[in-house]
Amino acid sequence: MSSGEGPAVRPGTATFESSASIDRAGPLVAARLALLRDLRLAFRQRGQLVQPLAFFAMVILLFPLAVSPELARLREMAPGVLWVAALLASLLALEFLFRDDAHDGTLEQYALSGHSLTWLLFAKISAHWLLTGLPLALMAPLAGLSLGVPPQALPAIVGSVAVGTAALSLIGSIGAALTLGVKRSGALLSLLTVPLSLPVLIFGARATQLAISGGPLLAPLELLGALAVLGVTLAPLAAAAAVRISLE
Amino acid sequence: MPAQTLEVKNLQLWRGERHVLRGVEFALDCGACLEVAGANGAGKTTLLRAICGLAYPEEGEVLWKGEDVRRNLPAFHSSLTYLGHEPPLKADLSARENLRYWVGVRRRVDADSLDAALERVGAQRWSDRLVRTLSAGQRRRVTLAGLALLAVPLWLLDEPTTHLDADGQQLVGSLIGEQLGRGGMVVAAVHHALPIALRDSRRLELPL
């Protein structure tokens, strides 16, 4: 066995310093791989992917049955129904954001990768939005039509739901990271996340309402955007700190 | 300039009332291996996690090339890999995909070196099967392929030979031998002696 010769450093082998710096994956490569891994996994576990969307569709479709099939009345309630359903659907998906990665040691490997954990979690949260927020935004027109929303309001609704769910994913990531050490964390996660998500609900519903009535909806949309930007800058940092604590 | 590359000084760590690490000290130079032994619960895993910064010791310090690692954790992390009890693999990805993502996040890896690493650990026949269909020993082999691919100087291994058959244990031995031959370092928590004849292997016994 060659190893019997002991630890003498073989001449001619590249030192670790030089090879490591040449081959090191840059932060962009690392983030892209982290994102692609989550997307591929999601398509392997379609149940988790479909669950929040099915929930969203069900709430929207059951509402007219329970309240009234009159379009005028439905239209009045449409913003609230749409946003409450979107908020709860994205909450439902949050539980899976870090859960599996915490169990199988992926988060540990991310924390020890030499890259910023904040940055890799940002990639994960982006993947999460692509898998839940974006599909919700794309489903919003169908949901809107079934609630009697006029077609010209639909683009604004898609936009507001897309931005709003991004803010929800980001805000929710803090709660998801904080509850990593808790078994059956669903209830606690909702308690932590819902209060922080209220601004998104309020401005999102307001934007939708104004889109339906044809009013000036720039202000609430801008506020939604501001929330999302605030989330981008702060949420991954907070989530990374919480993940580090859970790893100890 | 200190002679030792990795130095651990007076590590003290409590878990609640329990004093787990009681002043652990050792130093390791390039090409050296340290076997950490001790009964179940003696703190072998905790020691490994404290070295790489996943656990926070109350006292003591870890020096890498003479510098406290807490000053520059990312740089220290890019020089090490830690493998815990559980292989960090995704059940719904194939062995090859797992390696591509896990190793790829840290360093560039091309298809050829991936194939070579998979063949090295005897995984070429089942490298495209989902990890959920693999046995515990096969999963362990996949992580060994990752270990070889990562090519970092410091390996922190927690029971590297669990679940492996005789041939697999030999594989661990020869991988460690090559790592030391390249001037790398290995700290391994073990129950049984590593399956390798090491001239410069030391043993650290943790008291319960």
Residue A160 · residue A210 · CB < 8 Å:
no
pLDDT at residue B152, rounded to an integer: 92
3-state SS, residue B62: strand
3-state secondary structure of B4: coil
- Is residue A3 within 8 Å of B177, Cβ to Cβ? yes
Give mean pLDDT, residues B44-72.
Answer: 93
User: Quick one: pLDDT at residue A3?
Assistant: 40
Q: Tell me the shortest Cα–Cα distance from B144 to chain A, in angstroms.
A: 15
What does each C-alpha distance from A99 to A102, A176, A183, B15 come to in angstroms? 5, 8, 10, 24
- Residues A6-9: contacts with CB under 8 Å, at least 24 apart: A6/B31, A6/B180, A6/B198, A6/B199, A6/B200, A7/B30, A7/B31, A7/B32, A7/B33, A7/B180, A7/B181, A7/B183, A7/B198, A7/B199, A7/B200, A8/B31, A8/B181, A9/B30, A9/B31, A9/B181, A9/B182, A9/B183
Q: Give the model's pLDDT for residue A17.
A: 56
For residue B107, the chain A residues in CB contact (below 8 A) are 20, 23-25
Question: In this complex, is the C-beta atom of A7 within 8 Å of any C-beta atom belonging to chain B?
Answer: yes
Q: Do A25 and B106 touch (CB under 8 A)?
A: yes
**In Å, how far is A234's CA from the nearest CA of chain B?**
20
B124 touches chain A (CB under 8 A): no
pLDDT of B59: 94
Q: Which of A1, A2, A3 to mutate to test the interface with B (most CBs of B within 10 A)?
A: A3
Q: Is the pLDDT of residue A137 over 50?
A: yes
Judged by DSSP in three states, A24 sits in strand
Provide the number of CB pairs (under 8 Å) joining chain A to chain B: 152
**Is A66 a member of any domain?**
yes
- Looking at every residue in chain A, the average pLDDT score rounds to 90
Assess whether pLDDT exceeds 60 at residue B117: yes
Domain encompassing residue A169:
20-247
Model confidence at B60, pLDDT cuts 50, 70, 90, reads very high
In tens, the pLDDT along B62-82 reads 999 999 999 999 999 999 999
Search chain B and give the residue with CA nearest A44. Answer: B92
Average pLDDT over residues A137-144: 95
Q: What is the distance between the alpha carbons of residues B103 and B109, in angstroms, rounded to a whole number? A: 7
Asked if A245 reaches chain B (Cβ–Cβ under 8 Å), the answer is no
pLDDT for A12 equals 40
Number of domains in chain A: 1
Q: pLDDT of A176-228, one tens digit each? A: 999 998 888 888 999 999 999 999 999 999 999 999 999 899 999 999 999 99
The reply to whether residue B107 touches residue A116, judged by beta carbons under 8 angstroms, is: no
Residue A227 lies in a domain: yes
Residue whose entry in the numeric block shows the structure tokens 């949901």: A143
Taking the CA of residue A15 and the nearest CA in chain B, the distance in Å comes to 8
Which residue of A lies nearest to B81 if distances are taken between CA atoms?
Answer: A112
Q: Residue A22's pLDDT is what?
A: 57
> Is A100 a member of any domain?
yes
**Does A63 reside within a domain?**
yes
- CB-CB contact of B94 with B129 (8 Å): yes
Classify residue A50: in a domain, yes or no: yes
Residues A139/A53, Cβ–Cβ less than 8 Å? yes
Asked whether residue B146 carries a pLDDT value surpassing 60, the answer given is yes
**Least Cα separation, residue A70 to chain B (angstroms):** 46
CA B79 to centroid of chain Cα atoms? 12
As a whole number of angstroms, the distance between CA A64 and CA A53 comes to 18
Identify whether A13 is part of a domain: no
Residues of B whose CB is below 8 A from A25: 104-108
B180·A4 Cβ contact <8 A: no
In Å, how far are A12, A192, B206 from A231, measured between CA atoms? 50, 15, 45
| Beta-carbon separation of B105 and A25 below 8 A | yes
For residue B93, what are the CA distances in angstroms to A56, A88, A208, B101, B113? 28, 29, 40, 10, 19
The distance from CA A4 to its chain's CA centroid, rounded to whole angstroms, is: 52
The pLDDT of residue A21 is 53
To the nearest whole Å, the CA of A10 is away from the closest chain B CA by 6
Q: At residue B120, does pLDDT exceed 70?
A: yes
Give the single-character DSSP code of B94: B
Beta strands in chain B (DSSP E): 6-15, 18-28, 33-38, 59-64, 67-68, 80-83, 154-158, 185-189, 201-206
Contact list in B for residue A9 (CB cut-off 8 A) is: 30-31, 181-183
- Three-class SS state of B85: coil
* Beta-carbon separation of A16 and B182 below 8 A: yes
Q: Identify the pLDDT of residue B184.
A: 92
How far, in Å, CA of B91 to CA of B24, rounded?
36
Interface test with A, best of B77, B107, B133 (most A CBs within 10 A): B107
Q: What pLDDT, on a 0 to 100 scale, did the predictor assign at position B203? A: 86
Given a cut of 70, is residue A128 above it in pLDDT?
A: yes
**Nearest CA to CA, how far is B112 from chain A (Å)?**
15
- Give me the pLDDT at residue A78, please: 94
- Under an 8 A CB cutoff, do A9 and B31 touch? yes
**Confidence band of A240 (pLDDT split at 50, 70, 90):** very high
Q: Is residue A15 part of a domain?
A: no
| A residues 131-190 closer than 8 Å to B (CB) | none
Residue B33 has pLDDT above 70, yes or no: yes
Nearest CB to B86; choose among A13, A104, A114? A104
Contact between B103 and B109 (Cβ < 8 Å): yes
Q: Does any domain span residue A181?
A: yes
Taking Cα atoms as reference points, which of A154, A148, A153, A160 lies closest to residue A76? A148
Q: Indicate if the pLDDT at residue B157 is higher than 80.
A: yes
Q: Say if B32 is an interface residue toward chain A (CB within 8 Å).
A: yes
pLDDT (tens digit, 9 = 90+) per residue, A9-68?
A: 444 444 565 455 558 889 999 999 999 999 999 999 888 889 999 999 999 999 889 988
- Which of chain A's residues have a Cβ under 8 Å away from the Cβ of B194? none
Q: Is the pLDDT of residue A102 over 50?
A: yes
- Whether B200 shows a pLDDT value over 50: the answer reads yes
